[in-house]
Amino acid sequence: MAISGVAHGVIRFTTNGTLTGRRQVTYLRWIGATTAGHTLTLSDSNGARWFESEADGANFIDIHPVFNEINGLVVTLTSGTFYVYTR
């Protein structure tokens, strides 16, 4: 499954995906990128970028606090798993 946990407070993306609706986001975490240069981007429904990262090697981990409401989640993911923590 590409997107899971939508109703559980932790949304998990394992591939590119889009979700509609407003969410109160607290943290973003990207784990398990497989190769240096792989990228991840999170934008809202209006195209505003909230997070972007580039892996520096295998098993890359990145975490970012947000504490803001985001309208729609548009994720572009090269590898790994991306978690969006909501409340």
Strands 10-13 and 60-77: unpaired
> How many angstroms separate the CA atoms of 72 and 6, rounded?
12
**Overall pTM > 0.85:** yes
pLDDT in tens, 27-86: 999 999 999 999 999 999 999 999 999 999 999 999 999 999 999 999 999 999 999 999
> How many angstroms separate the CA atoms of 54 and 15, rounded?
16
Query: What pLDDT does residue 1 have?
Result: 54
Q: Does the pLDDT at position 9 exceed 70?
A: yes
